[in-house]
Amino acid sequence: MSVPGQQELRVVPVMVGTAGHVDHGKTALVKLLTGCDTDCLPEEKQRGMSIDLGFAPCRLSGERMVGIIDVPGHEDFIKNMVAGASAIDVLVLVVAADDGIMPQTVEHLKIVSLLGAPQVMAVITKIDLVTSARQQEVKEAVAAFLAANGFGPARVVLLSNRTGEGLEDVRREIERLVGVVSRAPAAERAFRMDIERVFSPPGVGTVVTGIPLSGRCAVGDKLELFPGPVATACRAVQKYGYDAREAEAHTCSAITIRDIKASAIKRGMTLAAPGVFKETGALVLAVRNVHESAVIKRRQEMRFCCGTFTRVVWGLLTGRNTLGPGEEGFMQVESGEPMVVAAGDRFLLRTLSPAATIAGGVILSCNVDPRRKKAYLTPERLERARQAAAGQDPFQSELLAGCFTIIDSSVLPGLAGNVNSRAIVAAKVEAGVLRPVGPAQWIAADRVAELEEKLAAVLARYHKDNKAARGMPGAQACSALGLDPACWDGIRALFLDSERIVVEKNVLALRGYSPELSARQEVQKELILKAVLGAEHGVAPYAPLQARLNATDQEMQFLVRLLIEEGLVVAADHYLLSAAEVNAGLKKLKVLFEKCPVVELGAFRQVTGFSRNQAVPILEYFDEQGVTVREGKGRRLVRV
């Protein structure tokens, strides 16, 4: 049911969140700001403190509305606090005037800082319980505490939870900070929401709530639930109790979904647009150790907290063995349980026992092959990936830190975070970040050297097994690299000026390589070429030539392949043809096509002077190469 007057309210896609020590007045502040008591659970009422996350709508001027998250302060419920802090855009750090800065004050600011909340203010509550001198003392201590943690400009406001003194100052500062929140347009990425709660009201069906991380979801849209994925769809949306047409990023939303029972869903699962996201068990991370004394070691097990879920992960530090207090670095981690994340997501790392926040950072890639060598994960490249992720360009981060050297259309949605990724790719191509190597395949400009390394290894193996070959055929090289053969022109252009690889006509070879032929093979090869070039119109029957040389089938095939690789002859049907004569015949054939769309055998023979036995294999060769196609008694040109 919609709330009266809903059309007059505009929801601002920003989340305000409280944080601070237990019993410092966070929930009371939220109630003053919104009129809502976010302690809804019976245990919360009984114990007089927040256990789980609370959500409430807060009206701003101009008939606008933002959401407020009230996070639990007790150390036993840090996991719940982290789930809410992941979505906070504006932090309201709450400190009671009588207690001052306490352990969870420090812990919470550390957590929110690691999770990337850029806008911060502090509220000193319970000022009616202390003297003016004490108020000033705590205010100065909090200001110094914020400055020491990188939030020097943050305002500190005094408030009485009992009388409401200072409440308008709090409102004004929240509204100011909401106005300066900036981010990349959410619509550029597909819809994704980590599930916070699930319930099933009578007559409504299954409802999941959370704060979408990206994109939009409209009523009727198809969705996927992870783990799975399990297909579902959006039946209805509410935001802060108001009926809405769509859920959008950074707005607390309740989505009614189809065909899945509430009992099958729990916190930490993910609802997302179909065909974009996938489960992963390995990540590349940029990490900062914020602990006072703990050192992160190779293969150390830690608790990975991201969004509303946690996983135990272990992994390797890139370029080092340990990460000490205050140090930054990169890690590749694995988990025994799959998760749905994306480059640009922020996370925490907590020790298993005793539980403590040790580090945090940003995901650089969720497309990782743990079996691959880590040589491509250089610190320089990973640092640029970190800058891209921090600069709200997760696609660039994936290009630099992910496992894909070659990118094709099948993986684009996942890398770009959107099914409609072509426009994003076009912009990257125009900027020189991506280089097309075929009609539907690209390579990141930063990874050409990596592809060259892979190609050099492929060519080295080929030369070892084919010592007499001039080089590896282009189409075969493309297949070995995981490319479509149609990418040959792109690969040839890519390595034309390479210092390691030689590109000659339709073959590739390592620079400095030369084929090895025996004296007998050299003579036979020259005899074949002489016979073809000496034949009338360069058309020599294959079988008589093999008999004259007394060559085995294997020997003949080997020598002919060498001549084909060198571009001197072509093979068609049971004939060997001079490449020069074939090219000359093609030019004459194209002139005929300019006059007539369908050219018959007789017309081709007339302009070339070929006999029937010479003309037929040449025309059939053009058919095999896709230049012409049979049509009735003649041929039609299909490729210039």
Written as one string, the DSSP assignment of 141-183 is: HHHHHHHHTT-TT--EEE--TTT-TTHHHHHHHHHHHHHH---
* Dihedral pair phi/psi, residue 446, rounded to 5°: -70, -10
pLDDT at 81: 54
3-state secondary structure of 520: helix
Helix (H) or strand (E) holding 16: strand 10-20
**Of 177-186, 299-308, 331-340, minimum mean pLDDT range:** 177-186
Question: pLDDT per residue over 126-180, tens digit each?
Answer: 999 999 999 999 999 999 999 998 888 899 999 998 899 999 999 999 999 998 8
- Interatomic CA distance for residues 49 and 39, integer angstroms: 8
Query: What do you get for the CA distance between the two ends of the chain, in Å?
Result: 65
> How many residues appear in the chain?
640
- Interatomic CA distance for residues 301 and 130, integer angstroms: 45
Strand locations in 290-366 (E):
296-297, 302-306, 309-317, 322-323, 328-339, 346-351, 356-365
Of 352, 347, 355, 287, which is closest to residue 316 (Cα–Cα)? 287
Of 367, 303, 315, 370, which is closest to residue 341 (Cα–Cα)? 367
| Of 480 and 376, more confident | 480
Cβ neighbours of 59 (radius 10 Å): 14
- Interatomic CA distance for residues 581 and 540, integer angstroms: 12
* Cβ(376)–Cβ(326) below 8 Å: no
* Cβ(336)–Cβ(312) below 8 Å: yes
Strand partners, 17: 69, 91
Question: pLDDT per residue over 296-318, tens digit each?
Answer: 998 899 999 998 888 999 988 88
What is the average pLDDT score of the chain? 86
pLDDT at 80: 58
DSSP secondary structure string, 229-293?
TEEEEEEEEEETTEEESEEETTS-EEEEESS--GGG--TT-EEE-TTT---EEEEEEEEEE--SS
- Interatomic CA distance for residues 306 and 429, integer angstroms: 32
Strand order of the β-sheet with 10-20 is: 54-60, 64-70, 10-20, 90-96, 119-125, 156-158
> Average of pLDDT values for 428-444?
88
3-state secondary structure of 329: strand
* Cβ(300)–Cβ(356) below 8 Å: no
- Interatomic CA distance for residues 593 and 14, integer angstroms: 65
User: What is the crossing angle of helices 612-624 and 579-595, to 10°?
Assistant: 80
Of 350, 294, 333, 328, which is closest to residue 83 (Cα–Cα)? 350
Compute CA distances 278 → 408, 554, 588, whole Å.
Answer: 16, 48, 54
Of 250, 253, 257, 256, which is closest to residue 242 (Cα–Cα)? 253
Q: Which residue has the tokens 């009485």?
A: 160
Strand partners, 236: 256
What's the distance, CA 194 to chain centroid?
Answer: 17
pLDDT at 72: 58
- Interatomic CA distance for residues 245 and 255, integer angstroms: 11
* Cβ(346)–Cβ(360) below 8 Å: yes
Residue type at position 598: V
Q: Rounded to two decimals, what is the model's pTM? A: 0.76
* Cβ(577)–Cβ(532) below 8 Å: yes
Of 614, 598, 470, 588, which is closest to residue 532 (Cα–Cα)? 614
Beta-carbon contacts of 363 under 8 Å, excluding residues fewer than 6 positions away, are 283, 284, 285, 306, 341, 342, 343, 344, 345, 346, 347, 389
Question: pLDDT per residue over 541-585, tens digit each?
Answer: 999 999 988 888 878 888 888 888 778 898 887 889 898 988 898
CA triplet 33, 173, 290: central angle to 5 degrees? 100
The yes-or-no verdict on residue 527 having pLDDT over 90 is yes
Cβ neighbours of 163 (radius 10 Å): 10
| Pairing relationship of beta strands 90-96 and 10-20 according to DSSP bridges | parallel
Helix (H) or strand (E) holding 570: strand 569-572
Q: Residues 531, 536, 542, 543: what is their CA dihedral angle, to the nearest 10 degrees?
A: -90
The yes-or-no verdict on residue 270 having pLDDT over 90 is yes
Question: pLDDT per residue over 460-495, tens digit each?
Answer: 999 998 887 878 988 899 999 888 888 888 898 899
Residue type at position 473: P
pLDDT at 1: 37
Compute CA distances 307 → 84, 209, 345, whole Å.
Answer: 8, 13, 8
At residue 41 the predicted structure's pLDDT band, cuts being 50, 70 and 90, is very low
Write out the two tokens for 512. 């400095």
Report long-range pairs for 4-9 (Cβ below 8 Å, ≥24 apart): 6/242, 6/243, 8/63, 9/59, 9/63, 9/64, 9/65, 9/242
The yes-or-no verdict on residue 40 having pLDDT over 60 is no
Q: Residues 636, 479, 475, 620: what is their CA dihedral angle, to the nearest 10 degrees?
A: -40
The yes-or-no verdict on residue 51 having pLDDT over 80 is no
Considering only CA atoms, give the Rg of the chain: 34
At residue 640 the predicted structure's pLDDT band, cuts being 50, 70 and 90, is low
